[in-house]
Structure 1
Amino acid sequence: MTYRVCLVCMGNICRSPMAETVLRRTLADHGLDEQVAVDSAGTGGWHAGDPMDARALRTLADHGYDGSAHRARQFTSGWFDRYDLVLAMDRDNLSFLRRMAPEGVEVRLFRSFDPDAPEGAEVPDPYYGGDEGFEEVLRLVEAASDGVAKHIADEIG
């Protein structure tokens, strides 16, 4: 059985696809890539079908990641049955997801898996800023990805 996780931000062109790309590598490093499927989506649909933001792609590539296959998608309420874990990049998206989630579905903040992050820590949206915002997003998702992988390893035994 495949454990499935979905990472969610606003438009699915910056934060969540960067986190998806990083988490896939982290899971492979933990030997979990055959047991875990990672997806990402946005709460909004205005970028659906678009590739990742060029700045996000460039930041990933500069650090040895390949996000070129990504195409943005919109998360809908019917998707909750597909996933064992849904992780939001910020509190606004977390609230949105929790409002539509059926009872018993685990929805958490992505950074809640970073042991050094304060409670309620978010991955900030870099869209309206410069390249440094994308570098910060990469640093934050890398810091939390190991914790996500360990959580999933515990979940699947």
Structure 2
Amino acid sequence: MSQYLPTVAALLALIPAASHASEARGKSTPPPAKDCVEVSGTALSGTAEGPAYAAAEVKCGAKLSLVLQRQTGRNGILPVWTVIDQVTISKPSLRHELLQPAYCSSSRFPDVAVFALGRMVEQPDGSYRSENVVKAWRFDIKRERLAAIPADGVTCALDGVD
């Protein structure tokens, strides 16, 4: 049993805090490990009869991770989330950011949630498009994990504000 404690402690360290950002999304989780904070999060579509899923970008000190979570219960009216997969993110520059599935798509995986590590650049029409996408992941719902995919063919875009 004691051989598993470091692994369990490491996984618990990646669970985001029930801070104001988490409460806005209805998350109920234990406090994070020291120096861990949820940077961003997004709901992911699952199946109609299956559990709900979410992903969060978590920063622990200098380390960044993309964490996949499944709803495993409720605490009153708030859902309880359990970490089921994670990937470590290494940004090649300060301008690179984790781009969310709401803005990203892949020509190779057209109907799944795609995360990308890249830069958004403003276009002449006021919209933004991804540039220099260096890594990408898709949400593999059957295996409940984040799967690395080729970055070529991944595009992220955000329409300009009128």
How would you bin the TM-score normalised by the shorter chain? under 0.3
* Larger helix fraction of residues: 1
- Answer 1 or 2: higher relative contact order, Cα 8 Å, separation at least 6: 1
TM-score computed with the length of structure 2 as normaliser? 0.26
TM-score computed with the length of structure 1 as normaliser? 0.26
* Larger strand fraction of residues: 2
Q: Which has the larger radius of gyration?
A: 2
